[in-house]
Amino acid sequence: MRKIIVIGSCEQSDFMLSVCKVLAHTGDRTLLIDGTRARNTSHYVSSLTDVGPVVELDGFDLGNQFATYQEALTWLDRHVDKYGYVMMQSDDIGFLTGCKLSEFDSHVIVTNVEKGSFHRNLYIVSQLIETSKPTIEFIHLYIPFVISSIQERYVEEMYGAFALRWSENIYRIHFDEKLFERFIDNQYAESIQLQGLPRAYIHKLLELTVQLTTLDLRSVKQAFKQAKRRR
């Protein structure tokens, strides 16, 4: 089982749900645990809130009713053989109590340059870093990415106070009104639609999925095509 942690205080649910939908078509069952404060993934399954802590969405499982990481871990220990991929996203240090970064295979920081979001991320990272040596590699994902007077170099320098090292790849999901419209439509449809996405968005989606897994790009592209056909 490959475990992925996504730390981020900006809205990334639609993108991560899309990643999980692709992962679900690679042949391994996938679970997304939503430990964010807003729990925006609940809008995609609002008709299934009474089913239980984990529900099925577009071929993968979604758990957004766990109060803490430890509660989610207890549940997962009873179902560990079911999953090939487990992704956990959170921006809540209370939820993450007891979480160890070393328990995860891939680590993602989702950020943007909005000051409140950025500083909340810094606080979460400061609480989770376990060593003074930069042994854990983080993937940097900007959602949404906008060009502003605040340079990426400033963001990198602020994180530089902590013992982490960055992956060579930086993923920037540019702000797009059409993507925001798709985000809203998906919530009301309670489905993750992959048709008609911008080419640049698809490219970043595929690249990140490759980096999060041990799969090659060809396999991920095939999974994406299958996921796109599923409505």
Return the pLDDT at 208: 96
Report helix, strand or coil for 206: helix
Q: Which of 161, 79, 47, 150 is nearest to 33 (CA)?
A: 79
Q: Which of 124, 56, 115 is nearest to 95 (CA)?
A: 124
Q: Which of 82, 108, 94 is nearest to 19 (CA)?
A: 108
Return the pLDDT at 90: 94
Return the pLDDT at 48: 63
Pairing of the two strands 60-63 and 54-57 = antiparallel
Return the pLDDT at 201: 93
Contact 117, 10 (CB under 8 A): yes
* DSSP state letter for 130: -
CA distance 187 to 6: 21
Residues of the chain with pLDDT under 50: none
User: Does residue 231 fall inside a structural domain?
Assistant: no
Return the pLDDT at 50: 65
As for how many domains the chain has, the answer is 1
Return the pLDDT at 171: 92
CA distance 207 to 22: 12
CA distance 143 to 10: 7
Indicate which CATH number applies to the domain containing 136: 3.40.50.300
| Tokens of residue 116, six digits | 């409140």
User: Does residue 229 fall inside a structural domain?
Assistant: no
Return the pLDDT at 231: 62
Burial class (CB in 10 A: 0-12, 13-18, 19+), 52: exposed
pLDDT tens digits, one per residue of 172-194: 988 888 888 888 899 899 999 99
User: Does residue 226 fall inside a structural domain?
Assistant: no
* DSSP state letter for 24: T
Return the pLDDT at 133: 66
Q: How far is CA 131 from CA 7, 13, 141, in A?
A: 18, 29, 23
pTM of the model as a whole: 0.91
User: Does residue 42 fall inside a structural domain?
Assistant: yes
User: Does residue 138 fall inside a structural domain?
Assistant: yes
Return the pLDDT at 194: 92
Domain enclosing residue 89, as ranges:
2-220
User: Does residue 208 fall inside a structural domain?
Assistant: yes
Return the pLDDT at 134: 66
Which amino acid makes up residue 36? T
CA distance 89 to 12: 9
